[in-house]
Every structure is written in C-alpha cells, then in structure tokens.
Structure 1
Amino acid sequence: MTAAAPISPDTVEFVLGLGIPCCEAWGLSETCAAATMNAPDA
C-alpha cells in the first residue's frame, strides 16, 4: 500500500512486475483512516 503522494505509473509497473500487490489509499492522517482506496486491478 502506498500513501502520502501519488505513486508514479512506472513504479507501480515495476512493483507489480516483481509479483508484489500494490494499491494506493487516500485519507486524512488526522483521522487515522483511509477514505478512498484503488482496487489492485484499477
């Protein structure tokens, strides 16, 4: 899972090429909860 800033498409392709699942999450760190999450196949 990545957070804080958008991950570059090149980085996603590299990580997925290694067979490691990767997804992005958005939310407010002040609330300690993710508000939105991309599905791994998105």
Structure 2
Amino acid sequence: MRRSKFSEKQIIEILKEIEDGAPVVETLRAKGVSKQTTPQ
C-alpha cells in the first residue's frame, strides 16, 4: 500500500477548513493536492 503524501494531522486540518466553509477545490490545490485527486 502506498504511503500518503500528507500526515493524518494535515488531512484533518484540510477537512476542518472545508467544513468551515472554505471552497473545496481551492483549499485542496493550496495545500498541494494534485488536480487528478480533486473532485470535478
């Protein structure tokens, strides 16, 4: 199994930002999540 580029802490921080109303695609791209991983 491949290791994640992001730690569990980083993933939780990203999810909290999105939960607080931050735009999903912009938040993910700002954190370095690739375009192929982001939802359409």
- TM-score class normalised by the smaller sequence: 0.3 to 0.5
Query: Is the helix fraction higher in 1 or 2?
Result: 2
Query: Is the strand fraction higher in 1 or 2?
Result: 1
TM-score by length of 2: 0.38
Indicate the structure whose relative CO is greater, using CA pairs within 8 Å and at least 6 residues apart: 1
Highest Rg: 1 or 2?
1
